[in-house]
Structure 1
């Protein structure tokens, strides 16, 4: 069993469309749908679209400032 949280689109005729991960095999599946009774606002939709994570380097004190990582320092000549 797998839990997937996604946004689904409901059409006027009651059909639902949702994007699932590609690792879900093709075919019929038993599902449970929990739906909020009010549609998402534009602001809520924009909030759901998450910006990519940005990682920045910072010193954690594992090496001293004088250590370099040049190729010559990392690999022997043999």
Structure 2
């Protein structure tokens, strides 16, 4: 028995899959599991907060200034 895990595409009720060359040609018995779990939505960057105002000279982003002498 050979186990192949691959992604398939359904087009007009027809299954399309790419299989490795090690699968011999001919008729085979197969089990298909359709995972119906929702895929997570991509993160929407348009809702990400943006601070595009100018920074004054009092802001320092040096590690020592932010964390002190410990460097943490």
TM-score normalised according to structure 1 size? 0.45
Task: Choose 1 or 2 for highest CA Rg.
Answer: 2
